[in-house]
Amino acid sequence: MQTTERTAIILPTGTWDVDPAHSVVEFSVRHLMVSKVKGRFGRFAGTITVGHEPSEAAVEATIDVSSVDTGDPARDAHLRSAEFLDVEAHPTATFASRAVRAAGDGYVVTGDLSLHGVTRPVELRLDYNGAGPDAWGGTRAGFSATTELNRRDFGVDISMPLANGGAVVGDKITINLEIQAVARPAA
């Protein structure tokens, strides 16, 4: 991928593996219509393949949805249940990109997200944060990405209305990714 700066900084081509120890997959959702609850997934993996042009890039990721963590064990158990993520029937979520294009100061990654047994197209707004050597003789790159989903589009349609007309859980889910990837050594 190439940045949009006129200095033409280029991310080295090849395959990059997401480093889960230095990456975050987070979400937030409106709760009781007055605040947002945040959570994250603790187990995930992914690869980024980089060509000479953004259009040659590809991203694939898998998330273990049973690793959901909002900091409240009872809420996490409810999120794993059939009312929400139904991890027994759908233990993973996957993302596979279809296109990467420059957009403004960053990029847009279009791809298919499979969650809760439903596959839908999504767009991630992506910033390339740079690349450089790490302390172990490798090369790392950083990315930030965000998207918004409607949980009902993925079959998570639990309805918990409030007496005042709102809902216990909002429909809009904001996903934020902070990704550090490690270049695979040349073969």
Q: Which CATH superfamily is domain 14-182 in?
A: Lipid/polyisoprenoid-binding, YceI-like (2.40.128.110)
Contact by Cβ (8 Å): 57, 63: no
pLDDT tens, residue order, the chain (187 aa): 444 442 334 578 899 999 999 999 999 877 656 668 899 999 999 999 988 887 888 999 999 999 999 999 998 998 899 888 899 999 999 999 999 988 888 899 999 999 999 999 999 999 999 999 999 999 999 999 999 998 878 877 766 655 666 555 667 888 999 999 999 987 6
Neighbours of 16 (CB within 10 A): 25
One-character DSSP codes across 48-59: EEE-SSGGG-EE
- % helix / strand / coil in the chain, to the nearest 5? 10, 55, 35
